[in-house]
Structure 1
């Protein structure tokens, strides 16, 4: 998280007494972290050799010990502070890993209620031993960021994957190899042969144009079926497909929307239940009724928070000349801003 120091900020920093031993440990830890190249979605990390800036960064992640410093740091726009940090899921994941907990997955659900979901892997004994500890760690992280809209649910991860027996494994291996050899010998263009002996289904994916796919689809299906029957595996359904995967570059503007979503959904005061966007528009859904006397004030406050962020240096470097219209809805779908 970057902090821009003005002369006033420096004065406030200079007033704070930092125990030498604690400062040395902080600097050493910061330099070690600076050697790591860790990039994730929406992650922006600024490493610096300034002890003063390093100390401020530590303060932001914990308890402010100086009212004067709290006033200075509070000048950082709320959403900009989130944008310059790691997203909350990554923070939780890394903290749990650092503490040695065996996590299978970490995520946030926004369906019936806002919930941080942590799945633990390991035995029932291990799960029962650490689940309360994990919940406490996560709650402390949320509290440190002022996120009061979430409940925390820690559950045990169960693998639902079916394991093939030896006979099924042999059938899968034989058919995959035999069909692949046959199609290669016939010089067909394909990138996948997948066999499911539990359902008697075989998938073959063709590579090429629509015209090429249509010209060989039936022949490929027939040849694969003949291979299966020759090996005494009858009744296979052969599915010949043409699926392509297009990998698009990351949309930088999606990082802005992700920041807005995290910031507004994570605090009860905003009463936000959903965030969406289309071309040049951001839609915010709230739980307040339009008849509530405070609805208009809430809508304008949310709009101000978003505009403050979108006009920041970070956001403008991504948006350029583009802009968003912000539309905020009440629970009864009336515009309240």
Structure 2
């Protein structure tokens, strides 16, 4: 495989300008846990790869140089298309799981008697629905499997695995105070979202009765004081005596948050293209950033490792450009099945 991101390709791709207001999409993490109580929302900002795809193609018609590069990069369009399909599948998986969880919670026979979760490390793989029940029997297993498979079929998700386990289910009944806390947290999140804090983190510490809110830095102390005042008024309306604490996200957390969708794309797309990719890791310390792909390769399969590295590099640059993430030095490390490094390439 050629190095599709030669200097000329990268220079042209870096010229593409993407309107920031268009780059928003909700994605979900690889493991989802069902709740009998209302689920607290976690929102990640990503972007639609199709936007970059459209802009890239339109640039090709305007720039003769870009048109030549499109011809020299036969796999670029396929990668962008694949990335967009992966994001769509993630949304379907999220909706599928929500439907399973809601269906079981609304069923009188299973409401409060089952605990549901879903896992799937790679988005392209078939997910597994884990259902924990008390005193399971064959009839119940067949019914649960049918419910899950029927819903999976409606969402066009194939080969779903259903793992039913017997376990004592702890029944948690929310107190009135718990309900108030949850309502405050949800309303606080809505308030912050309206003020432009779309990725704020809200936590409650029951030991200190402190509602801690973490937001991205960059605003004045006066602005943070106003946010605190708004949340304190909200808590007071619910007749709760809690301390409100506003924290600014550290630069390292902001960096991790910015790179998170890049990491998930590299992980998912590399595995989709190369089934030898079986794991993923990263580390910002020590510098430079290390992006590690774990594989089932043997030590001598250097050419395949190089192909995986080149493909991962393309995904990184496409996603980084989509999100307008600042360029930093990094290196891609390919490890074999014995966790030994068989190929490394650095980028400034």
Which bin holds the TM-score, normalised by the shorter protein? Answer: 0.3 to 0.5
Q: TM-score, normalised by structure 2?
A: 0.43
